[in-house]
Amino acid sequence: MSIETPSSIISALEHCLKPIARLCIHFGIDHRNLSEMLKAAFVSVAKDEFKVNGKSQTDSRIALLTGVHRKDVRRLLGRAPEKTSGRQQGLIANLIAQWLGTPELLDQDGEPKPIPRNPHPDYKISFISLAETLTNDIHPRALMDECVNRGIIKLTEDGMVHLIVESLIPADDLDEKAHFFGQNIHDHISAAEHNLNGGDPPFLDRFVWHEGLTESDVKVIATAARKAAMNALKQVNNQAIQHKQQHYNEANRPEFRIHFGTFFYSSRSHVDEISIDNAKDESGV
């Protein structure tokens, strides 16, 4: 029995693909390159997530589910996975989160305090001890050098390490931005896809949406949104750090992860598609 795809889903997907197309064109990725990526994604998801009674997927069934030719299915399944730098980038992000989520490492204004490079009797936490709580695979010195190279921390002559909040993600670090772009968009779409498919309980996915604003209005609201977002992110980060600290000495590492984010975006309304006179303000909070 064929599945009739709702037109609303098709329209939503077409709308979501426009910024993807814009990004592709900007970086010289044509539709053939994107088509190959889509084939690989279809094959991977069909293989791992649409099994029947837990049995291994056959090339024929994957081809049936995805519409990808069997020869392409075989080729894509036999391709070696591409290496990424996500492990290192995730470790640096965890280091920053740990620093910002530990009350002893923040001043009365909530700003990160400098910490000694090496263990010191006058300080409970050093950079070395902080790094050692996160991984046993990478030497703290290597992590420190990478953070210095990225402008995330700086060392002073008194042996102190300073976290540079305004430079956590350097504007010219394309690899860093691309990594978190992939993580953020993947998880946001995954949450929305879960909700669209009737997943229970649904994931948090709320928004505020308004039209009929001036450019100066948007600037004021954007400033307020950044402040509110940072407060919410700090609260959730602090709670996550507190829970993680309870598991540091456990033999079995907990298997669940979370991803909480917020965003702000503005653009001119499409007057050819929406009548501003009849526009209705909506809040999805």
| 13-67 per-position pLDDT tens digit | 999 999 999 999 998 999 999 999 999 999 999 999 999 887 888 999 999 999 9
Please say which residue of 82, 102, 136 terminates a domain.
82
> Per-residue confidence of the chain (285 residues) as pLDDT tens digits?
457 889 999 999 999 999 999 999 998 999 999 999 999 999 999 999 999 887 888 999 999 999 999 999 999 998 866 654 555 566 787 888 888 888 888 888 778 899 999 999 989 999 998 888 887 778 888 888 888 887 889 999 999 999 987 655 555 667 778 888 888 899 999 999 999 999 999 999 998 999 999 999 999 999 999 999 988 988 898 888 888 878 877 878 788 999 998 888 888 876 444 443 444 444 455
The first and second tokens of residue 91, run together, are 């470790």
- How many residues does this entry show for the chain? 285
For residues 134 and 91, is the Cβ–Cβ distance under 8 A? yes
Indicate if 215 and 269 belong to the same structural domain. yes
Please report, in angstroms and rounded to a whole number, the separation of the first and last CA atoms in the chain: 39
Asked if residue 267 and residue 220 are part of one domain, the reply reads: yes
Residues 247 and 273 in one domain: yes
Angle of CA points 41, 44, 50, to nearest 5° = 115
Whether omega for the bond prior to residue 201 falls within 30 degrees of 0, making it cis, is: yes
Sequential DSSP letters for the chain: ------HHHHHHHHHHHHHHHHHHHHTT--HHHHHHHHHHHHHHHHHHH--STTPPPPHHHHHHHH---HHHHHHHHTSPPPP-SHHHHHHHHHHHHHHHT-GGGB-TTSPBPPEESS-BTTBS--HHHHHHTT-SSS-HHHHHHHHHHTTSEEE-TTSEEEE-GGGSS-TT-HHHHHHHHHHHHHHHHHHHHHHHTT-SSPPP--EEE--S--HHHHHHHHHHHHHHHHHHHHHHHHHHHHHHHTTTT-SSPP----------------TTTS-GGG---EEE-
Are 52 and 105 found together in one domain?
no
Q: Are residues 144 and 100 located together in one domain of the fold?
A: yes
**Domain carrying residue 210:** 206-285
8 with 76, same domain? yes
Would 216 be classed as within a structural domain? Answer: yes
Nearest residue to 114 via CA among 143, 172, 81, 155: 155
In a domain, 196, yes or no: no
Measured CA distances, 263 to 185, 190, 222, 228 (Å): 11, 16, 10, 11
Select from 148, 150, 149 the least CA-distant residue to 127. 148
CB-side neighbour CA atoms (13 Å) of 275 = 2
In the listed set 41, 60, 82, which residue is the last one of a domain according to the structure? 82
Q: Does residue 153 form part of some domain?
A: yes
Beta pairing partners, 207: 284
Beta bridge partners of 146: none
Domain total in the chain: 3
> What is the rounded CA–CA span in Å between residue 276 and residue 234?
37
179 falls within a domain: no
- Whether 178 is covered by a domain: the verdict is no
Of 167, 192, 214, which residue is a domain's last? 167
- 90 shares its domain with 122: yes
Residue 109 shares a structural domain with residue 132: yes
| 58 and 110 within one domain | no
- Does 200 fall in a domain? no
Do both 8 and 51 map to the same domain?
yes
**Does residue 113 belong to any structural domain of this protein?**
yes
> Does residue 130 sit in the same domain as residue 148?
yes
Say whether both 73 and 139 belong to one domain.
Answer: no
Answer whether 0.85 is exceeded by the pTM.
no
Whether 284 is in a domain gets the answer yes
